[in-house]
Amino acid sequence: MGTLLGVLTRRSWRRGLRGEPLWLAVAAAGWLVRRARRRDGEVLWSGPVAEGQHLVVTTRPPRRRRGGEAS
């Protein structure tokens, strides 16, 4: 369903930006649905950090999916 929703959203944006307001509304709704379906990242560690302890957080950019969309 994600792929179908992505295609529908992209095509709707194109048509909406060409001047068709109904398709712009469909694109906005599709974008909202896709955004709501994203899952938050899992919790890798949870715990207290006491005074004098250090917590190092390292991040990396998200992997790219086929089609150039970030996951």
What ranges do the domains of the chain cover?
A: 2-37
Q: pLDDT tens across 13-71, in order?
A: 999 999 989 999 999 999 999 888 877 677 778 889 899 999 888 888 878 777 655 54
The pLDDT score that the predictor gives to residue 43 is 75
Q: In a 10 Å sphere around its CB, with 0-12 CB exposed, 13-18 middle and 19+ buried, how is residue 27 labelled? A: buried
How much is the pTM? 0.51
- The pLDDT score that the predictor gives to residue 68 is 56
